[in-house]
Chains A and B, each alone.
Chain A
Amino acid sequence: MLKGETPLPQNGHRRNSMAAITGEAEAEAPGVVFVHGSPPFGLPFKDRLLSRFQLIHTSELAESSHVKVMLCMDHTPVTSQTLHKLPSLECIVASSAGVDHIDLPTCRLRGIAVSNGSQAFSEDVADYAVALLMDVLRKISAGDRYLRSGLWPAKGDYPLGWKLGGKRVGIVGLGNIGSEVAKRLVAFGCGIAYNSRKKRPSVSFPYYADVCDLAANSDILVICCALTSETHHIINKDVMTALGKEGVIINVGRGSLINEKELVQFLVEGQIRGAGLDVFENEPIVPRELLELDNVVLSPHNAVVTPEAFEAMQELAIANLEAFFSNKPLLSPI
């Protein structure tokens, strides 16, 4: 595989030429994996890895110049400096769904293959997107707050919410997660349309090449796409104006997919109906104005945080590492 010929290789491992000629198997010693960062929530992952691979940790970076594969845990940044210290690196297995914390341009230049974990999380994130949407429309958190404050006997019925059935949902990014969101909302009687980099020929939902056009034809926008330089602030005041005063935005992608300042302004001024946000531009800081609003649902970046998602993530990461060492295609290349 020539460097620079394809964006990112799907299979990161290049067998040494001697083994290729003689047909000899690779050495029996377990593959060496550089573990960058720690598993989230202190989850026990190391034991499973140790039973299969030899591990080198960030603290031993100096001795890692020969390492060919990195397991990047959670959102530990992989900068050009990190990459510079790993001259033999051929593959990065990222545990998380998003890979915006990895210097992808440098990876491309060096022919380093990257795989991510979004397959492992897509159901949980889709569930969460629907949960946030239902909360905004039916005022679940706000109603629960109202009841717990003792206002039901005092002030009577809580203000009405809005029906989900029949609403037009625009999905921004119809990847693993976006597809699962669509599948769930169809069962609630929603219409689905989408925007993504390219139209998906096997998908029957209407496609809009421009996010503003999608917004103009939607009542609800669900943001599920990856954060890249192209999608930074893809949701801005033009999109929100197109969405309109009865529009609802749900973000389970990355905070910077939305121009947060403009979102806050639209919400405070009632220029959109509400928002459900699991991610923010500068976590864990949340704009103060949002903390005072009843028409937003705020979540501490928790969409993937279930035991099942982490179990699946670990299995997927291990499967990608094993694929690398067996010279097979990565299971979830980005």
Chain B
Amino acid sequence: MESIGVLLTSPMNPYLEQELGKRFKLFRFWDFPSADDFFREHSKSIRAVVGSSFIGADAQMIEALPKMEIVSSFSVGLDKIDLVRCKEKGIRVTNTPDVLTEDVADLALALILATLRRICESDRYVRSGAWKRGDFKLTTKFTGKSVGIIGLGRIGSAIAKRAEGFSCPISYHSRTEKPGTNYKYYPSVVELASNCQILVVACALTPETRHIINREVINALGPKGVVINIGRGLHVDEPELVSALVEGRLGGAGLDVFENEPNVPEELLALDNVVLLPHVGSGTVETRKDMADLVLGNLEAHFLNKPLLTPVV
């Protein structure tokens, strides 16, 4: 398989990069001054693309790589892949579900706790020497608070299970009500937001869920409410979120994702009631290795004409 051309879209994982280099003819997208430069030189060499939540395989790339047979995404999210076009052209698509579910759910809880109990702000308080001048302040209890989850898939369910350990009443919104849960269902996000204090985004990003957190939802959540986003930046109308936080119409936010990563609105950097993370949802040593192995396993299966491990298309 050493002659098979594989394009790696970004430096997402050293182990993955290393293994791809051993098994295939690896092209690093970022080694080239521009996408056009790359396509001009190597468009006919690429039979597989390994994408990420940062750069996937959009229409332009698919059109530019006529020999592409498979896109293996180093993510569970598929919003950076033109699935319709892949289907049309018979291009296979795989992602990395399940292996990252626990870490992403853990991160949602970590963000809730850090935001409510002001852990990062407390740490800053100690490091700056302010503790020597006086006690910190009251923070918000988490146990027992109502948690509303948008999207009760693998990740949403895992978040619910963890929040139940803190005796939180759980409610949710999704496209359809899920049978077999004790959680309260709301048919709209606004109703969900009106009836919970902590609103967690845990659904896939699609054209329908773009800006699912908008001004109306934020106002329904209110000045004691907290938004937690471990989905995609585009789930949230970011300027609306920022102004609500700055004006105090929303109590706080824990954000792992942003509309235009790695750029983060400057106004957020000045706020103490937000926790801001550089997209670390699945970012553990253990899980990234599992994700990489899944990508490698899917590619191998494809080129050996075996069933794909985690096909989407």
Chain A interfacial positions (CB closer than 8 Å to B) = 40-41, 123-124, 126-128, 130-132, 134-135, 137-141, 143-148, 152-153, 156-158, 160-165, 183-189, 283-286, 291, 297-302, 305-310
Contacts and interface: CB of A to CB of B under 8 A. Distances in A.
A308 B117 CA distance: 13
A131 B280 contact: no
26 contacts: A123-B141, A124-B141, A124-B143, A138-B107, A140-B111, A140-B120, A141-B114, A141-B123, A146-B278, A147-B269, A147-B276, A156-B262, A158-B280, A160-B285, A165-B103, A188-B162, A284-B132, A286-B131, A291-B126, A297-B123, A299-B122, A302-B117, A305-B135, A305-B139, A306-B139, A308-B141
Contacts of B143: 123-124, 126-127
Contact of A162 (B109, B264, B285): B285
Interface centre among B109, B118, B264 (most CB of A within 10 A): B109
A201 B95 CA distance: 47
Interface string B118-136: 1110111111000110011
A139 B124 CA distance: 14
A229 B142 CA distance: 33
A131 B122 CA distance: 12
Given A140-B275, A299-B123, 13 more contacts: A123-B141, A134-B109, A141-B119, A144-B114, A145-B120, A153-B263, A160-B283, A160-B288, A298-B122, A298-B126, A300-B122, A302-B122, A306-B117
A163 B278 contact: no
Contact of B284 (A157, A162, A188, A302): A162
Closest 9 CB pairs of A and B: A187-B165, A131-B113, A134-B110, A152-B262, A298-B126, A306-B141, A284-B131, A123-B143, A163-B286
Contact of A144 (B109, B120, B162, B288): B120
A187 B119 contact: no
Interface centre among A140, A145, A161, A307 (most CB of B within 10 A): A140
Contacts of A302: 117-118, 122, 136, 139
Contact of B125 (A128, A148, A300): A300
A131 B119 contact: yes
Contacts of B141: 123-124, 127, 306-309
A188 B288 CA distance: 18
Instruction: Report whether over half of chain A's contact residues are helix, strand or loop; otherwise say mixed.
Output: helix
Interface in B137-187: 137-144, 161-162, 164-167
Contact of B114 (A126, A135, A164): A135
A144 B277 contact: yes
B277 A143 contact: yes
A161 B120 CA distance: 16
B116 to A, nearest CB: 8
Contacts of A143: 277-278, 280
Contacts of B124: 141, 145
A189 B165 CA distance: 11
B102 interface: yes
B182 to A, nearest CB: 15
B195 interface: no
A160 B103 CA distance: 12
Contact of A131 (B107, B114, B261, B288): B114
A277 B221 CA distance: 33
B45 interface: no
